[in-house]
Amino acid sequence: MLDLKLIRERPEEVEKALSRRNGGYSIQPILEIDQRYRQVIGDWEALNRRSNEISDLFKTGKAPKGQIDALRKESKDIKKDSVEIEACKRELEEKIDALVFAVPNLPDASVPDGPDETANAEVSHWGEKPSLENPRHHYEIGEELGIFDFERGVKLAESRFTVLMDMGARLERALMNFMLDLHASKGYREVFPPILVNRQCMMGTGQLPKFEGDFYKCADDELYLVPTAEVPVTNLYRDEVLKQEELPIYHCAYTPNFRREAGSAGKDTRGYIRQHQFNKVELVKFCLPEESEDEHERLTRDAEAVLEALELPYRRMLLCAGDMGFSARKCYDLEVWFPAQDKYREISSCSNFGDFQARRTNLKYKPSDGGKARYMHTLNGSGLAIGRTLAAILENYQLSDGTVKVPSALVPYLNGVTVLRPRGQADPVGAGVQL
């Protein structure tokens, strides 16, 4: 969340920055309630001072004899008024918290203006797009290979849940292990967190309260299925004060993820791109404020390294202010090439949140010089979305005879399998596996 002191002292600057986001946000309600709150605080402090004065008069025996009854009555009235003011104070605190928690992060100065994805800026691109005649969609390839079972996914759950069979399941697992191993080699400590989290965790990373309807929630408990490993991993150190010497901290985590995808009806409903349940490896960083910009660039490069190892063409996009997520102050999207769609599709978002999430989770560090504890900065990015990576491999590595080549980086994770073949197609010795 934003610093209330910043909102109070520089309201015009805050509103100008927020106006860059799609639709803008008014902070006037916050300022109005904050003014009332400070008035109530002043009244509450004045009552406490007067209560202490009366108490001292009685303790020291200096209460004028002719005013003893009046002072006792005044003391009783002060206690009554204090109860009412305390209740008013709590009510205003709750209102301020609710309003501040609903305000998004301020875009970084380097973020371009724009209302939506059409204003995003390409920063770089990598790899050669495959030359394919009449490329098939990943879902067509997957069904022919027998690795996607969309119908049984619907039977077991509902639409946009998919069963992976045989080499589909093995590929998904191979990608997960490959990504985790690659990130571990770069210094990320692996975490395997719970996939159910409490409301405080969801509030801390910014999923709630704004996006309440987007997530799956347990009926009998205040627990949510994780929409991304960012949520539990960022909350690992919630309400803790770490030592400066402990930073930066790098974590990587695999989790299944669950999203209702409210409002996305009609978008990518066919295939394995936009699922209600999907697997992902997440990268999360905790660092010093002065290092977060450099750490953001390094985190993005770590996500790009996965695509480069798999030899998948991609581009890096700097998101405009109107297209950024709620909690981000700067975000790069990595988009992988899909030949059948003839366009790039998002496969990772790498975000720098500044101290936005740290304020929501009360996440601080103690400077080595012994100064006052400060909020650290948090960052995260997909490293990568496994299902979309699998789909991209099927499209980019498809061959004219119906087979799909396995990226060389994955061959060791598939016991030497180099080619995926449709069911019933003969498997030449040493060429791969017959599904």
b/e for 178-214, b at 16 or more Cβ within 10 A?
bbbebbeeeebeebebebebbeebbbbbbbbeebeee
Catalytic pick among 292, 327, 348, 349 = 349
Are 283 and 306 in contact, with CB atoms under 8 Å apart?
no
pLDDT of residue 433: 47
CB count, 10 Å around CB of 321? 23
Q: How far apart are CA 241 and CA 364, in angstroms?
A: 5
Task: Assess whether 274 carries a catalytic annotation.
Answer: yes
Catalytic pick among 304, 388, 395, 421 = 388
Over the Cα atoms of the chain, what is R_g? Answer: 28
Catalytic pick among 20, 259, 316, 359 = 259
Catalytic pick among 74, 143, 308, 346 = 346
b/e for 393-419, b at 16 or more Cβ within 10 A?
bbbbbbeeeebbebbebbeebbeebbb
Q: How far apart are CA 260 and CA 257, in angstroms?
A: 10
pLDDT of residue 23: 78
CA distances to 51, 75, 385, 399 from 38, in Å? 20, 23, 46, 69
pLDDT of residue 340: 97
Are 351 and 374 in contact, with CB atoms under 8 Å apart?
no
Are 363 and 213 in contact, with CB atoms under 8 Å apart?
no
Question: pLDDT 10s per residue in the chain (435 long)?
Answer: 999 999 999 999 999 999 999 877 899 999 999 999 999 999 999 999 999 999 999 899 888 988 988 999 999 999 999 999 999 999 999 999 999 999 999 999 999 999 999 999 999 999 999 999 999 999 999 999 999 999 999 999 999 999 999 999 999 999 999 999 999 999 999 999 999 999 999 999 999 998 988 999 999 999 999 999 999 999 999 999 999 999 999 999 999 999 997 555 556 668 999 999 999 999 999 999 999 999 999 999 999 999 999 999 999 999 999 999 999 999 999 999 999 999 999 999 999 999 999 999 999 999 999 999 999 999 999 999 999 999 999 999 999 999 999 999 999 999 999 999 997 676 554 444 444
Are 170 and 204 in contact, with CB atoms under 8 Å apart?
no
pLDDT of residue 263: 54
- How many Å from the N-terminal Cα to the C-terminal Cα in the chain? 51
CA distances to 272, 275, 324 from 265, in Å? 15, 12, 21
Are 8 and 34 in contact, with CB atoms under 8 Å apart?
yes
Strand partners, 365: 242, 374
Are 417 and 406 in contact, with CB atoms under 8 Å apart?
yes
The length of the chain is 435
Task: Assess whether 10 carries a catalytic annotation.
Answer: no
Task: Assess whether 346 carries a catalytic annotation.
Answer: yes
Q: Any long-range contacts for 413-422 (C-beta under 8 Å, 24+ apart)?
A: 413/173, 413/174, 413/175, 413/177, 413/178, 414/167, 414/170, 414/171, 414/174, 417/167, 420/145, 420/147, 420/167, 421/145, 422/144, 422/145, 422/146
Question: 256: cis peptide before it, omega within 30°?
Answer: no
Catalytic pick among 8, 238, 260, 274 = 274
Task: Assess whether 26 carries a catalytic annotation.
Answer: no
**DSSP 8-state class, residue 271:** S
Task: Assess whether 349 carries a catalytic annotation.
Answer: yes
Are 19 and 321 in contact, with CB atoms under 8 Å apart?
no
